[in-house]
A and B are shown apart, each in its own frame.
Chain A
Amino acid sequence: MKDKTKLILAGMIPFIAMFLVLPGVVLAFVINGESLGISTSGFGYQRDFRIRNDFEDASANNNTVEEAMFPGAVGAPLAIWRGANAWNSQNPRAAQNFDFDYQGLSTTSSGNENVVEGGYDSSGCGGSTLAFAELPSRNGWRIRFCEAWQWSDGPGSPAGSQVDIRGVAVHEFGHVLGLGHTTVGGCNSGTCDTRPTMCAMACSNETAARTIETDDQNGLNAIYGSIPSDKPVLTSLGGSTNIGGTLFLEGSAFGTQSFRVKFTTGTSSDFNPSGTVTVTPETTELARLTVPSSAETGNVLIWKHNTPRRLSNYLPITIGPTLSSDCYGQKAGTPTPGTNGSPTFDLLFGPSVTGNQFTEVQATGFQPNKTGFLLVSLTQSTVTWKSNTNLNVGFPLVIPLTVISSDSNGEVNLPFAILDAPDFFGTIFWLQLLIRDDAGVDGFATTEALGVELCDDMIP
């Protein structure tokens, strides 16, 4: 009996030994020790990437069809951005607490600038190397595609001996974010269709590597974890996407603390990125900000830079030209105070509206539930009416006096629908509100005049 037990134990030992000494095989994915931070100190923010597009093959840049999720990118940059997107949280195959941040094109490729460089032909690019990543990535990383190969930017399968930029990009981004090569799931059988993207060997001409598989996803999860409930999620943009315009971010889990809104800026990497706007959300589902002058067409994300740090998914954004301030209101004249002081105008851009259409003019500071008038003119001037009420628009009026009431908060909200009326582009309309007020000098309180130029970028 004793001998039999020994025999059984002896038979089991190789398997026990395999389990103990080969965790990489048992646990599948391999972690290379990297992890891309999103902090503002130390090596800071490392999930941004930019592209130096020096591919020389025509086939690397002959896809000229833009895609809605990747605005402004065609050719190799589009293929590479799509490669990064394979690891992002909104991708069902990834769906972990991780997102890359596209930062546009670059003309340089310093080693710490988080650059993906196409067309490299020096050391490291001999023989069989398609591309490689330089590590460690936590203090700045670089991916280099070797020029020796004929590269294809898709979107279809590579032809002949071409190699798929997007598939190789997915693989290299996997290294950068912290994964080594895995050996499971068909890696060693050459089964291209369903094997992990992080297999050591590329399949010839494959496009299967464009999508990650379960083993890749498990590796991503091991490094960055599942999506936490406080990771902000962006679902839509509203308002203006012009520089200087008011942009609305809609989504969930914005929290109540201020955060940074991060745009594509095309600048070099640093550890505490510029091109961000600090915003305090209006609700956990809504934030409003002014589009900064450094913003470029690309992506926009929410970066909770305070602990616990979180980076949202990205949304694509097409940045328009700098707005004339007139398009969004200039004020002139002097309000006539009433019960609640001097009423004032504000322009609101409805968050549910696409494009740059402003949808509402709001005035606050009136006595609640009082009636009055809206004055609309093509000119601005200030005259005193009755004993000391300021009329801040010129006459004649361009529309008849319109009866208006303040609400229970003392606000007046005027919804607008701006139509495509090119004949009126450049025309400034001057608005003023007169609302009855018990404390008004002549029984009215008034706003200043608000001048709004009808600009073509307001048209949805």
Chain B
Amino acid sequence: MLQLFGNRRWPDRRGTAFLALLLLAPAALACVVPRDLDRQMELAGDEVVYGTVLDFDEVWVKDSDEEEFLCTKVRFQADECLIGGERNIEMSFYFRGGILPGSPTTTITPSAEDIQPGKRLMLFLAKRDYSQQVFGGDPFILDTYAECYSLSDVRSRSVDRQVVVGKGYGFAFENNLDLTEACSRIQSSVEKLRRKQAQDR
């Protein structure tokens, strides 16, 4: 650790968190439509989870017209599934494109910085029409990086908490907010969406 100002350690844990937040400021890689949280739930809200990346593999798959492309399969330890209600389960999901250096990728692929073992994330996952045929089973899909939020630990003298790192204009979470608050907003949005769907029916 860098030593500055006598025997004071810098950056201290608060400084580290501060820098982590700066480093995690928007670094987008997609061409996607803007959305608020309600719209996000419509676009990709079959499941919303938060937890930890366990590991990942890159796999070549074929789509309906036999075209081969590279996907990344991620094993994820979900602390909580906000839609399904499960807690502390291991799950997996896919996204298009590779993240290893030199792998074929796309401009909607989540960043390699986010998909790292041990990384804490909140994810908006979807079931897609093509996924059964392409991947077999009925896996969850992470559509784009826009559905992937970093979680950061913020520790202060009074309380340690987790923060969902906002991504700026047009994202479901534009600004940083506490994980508990984010979960609460998601639940509200889910209820709103269910009411709307019921009305539509």
Contacts and interface: CB of A to CB of B under 8 A. Distances in A.
Contact of A123 (B32, B35, B63, B170): B63
A123 B106 CA distance: 11
Contacts of B107: 132-135, 172, 175
A25 interface: yes
Contacts of B61: 123
Interface string A14-30: 10011001101100001
A183 B69 CA distance: 30
Interface string B124-155: 00101011001000000101101100000000
Given A134-B97, A135-B106, 20 more contacts: A21-B19, A22-B23, A30-B27, A123-B71, A124-B97, A126-B44, A126-B143, A127-B143, A128-B35, A128-B40, A132-B30, A135-B107, A136-B105, A172-B107, A181-B27, A187-B26, A187-B169, A190-B169, A200-B26, A200-B28
Given A122-B63, A123-B96, A123-B134, A132 B31 contact: yes
B18 interface: yes
Q: Most chain-B Cβ atoms within 10 A of its Cβ — which of A13, A188, A200, A203?
A: A200
B34 A202 contact: yes
A187 B26 CA distance: 10
Nearest to A131: B31
A37 B126 CA distance: 38
Contacts of A32: 29
B112 to A, nearest CB: 12
A207 to B, nearest CB: 15
Interface in B40-58: 40, 43-44
A13 B19 CA distance: 11
Contacts of B28: 180-181, 183, 200-201
A10 interface: yes
Contact of A126 (B25, B29, B67, B141): B141
A136 B104 contact: yes
B24 to A, nearest CB: 11
Contacts of A187: 26, 168-169
B34 A124 contact: no
Contacts of A14: 18
Number of contact residues on B: which range applies? Answer: 35 or more
Given A135-B107, A175-B107, A203-B34, A180 B29 contact: yes
Q: Most chain-B Cβ atoms within 10 A of its Cβ — which of A13, A18, A124, A189?
A: A124
B33 interface: yes
Contacts of A325: none
> SS class of chain B's interface: helix, strand, loop or mixed?
loop
A189 B69 CA distance: 35
Contacts of B173: none
A171 interface: yes
B22 interface: yes
Contacts of A183: 25-28, 168
Nearest to B65: A122
Number of contact residues on A: which range applies? Answer: 35 or more
A187 B44 CA distance: 23
Interface in A25-76: 25, 30, 32
A14 B19 CA distance: 8
B104 A135 contact: yes
A322 interface: no
A129 B29 contact: no
A133 B106 contact: yes
A175 to B, nearest CB: 5
A6 interface: yes
A130 interface: yes
A22 B23 CA distance: 7
A168 interface: yes
Interface in A128-185: 128-136, 163, 168, 171-172, 175, 180-181, 183
9 closest pairs, A vs B, by CB?
A200-B28, A201-B170, A127-B143, A127-B44, A181-B28, A188-B168, A124-B96, A127-B43, A128-B32
A293 interface: no
Nearest to A189: B169
A204 interface: yes
Contacts of B76: none
Contacts of B44: 126-128
B31 A172 contact: yes
B29 A181 contact: yes
B43 A128 contact: yes
A201 B171 contact: yes
A408 B96 CA distance: 73
Interface in A74-90: none
Contact of A204 (B23, B33, B63, B134): B33
Given A126-B141, A132-B108, A10 B5 contact: yes
B25 A25 contact: yes
Contacts of B169: 187-190, 199, 201
A188 B25 CA distance: 11
Given A128-B43, A129-B143, A132-B107, A123 B27 contact: no
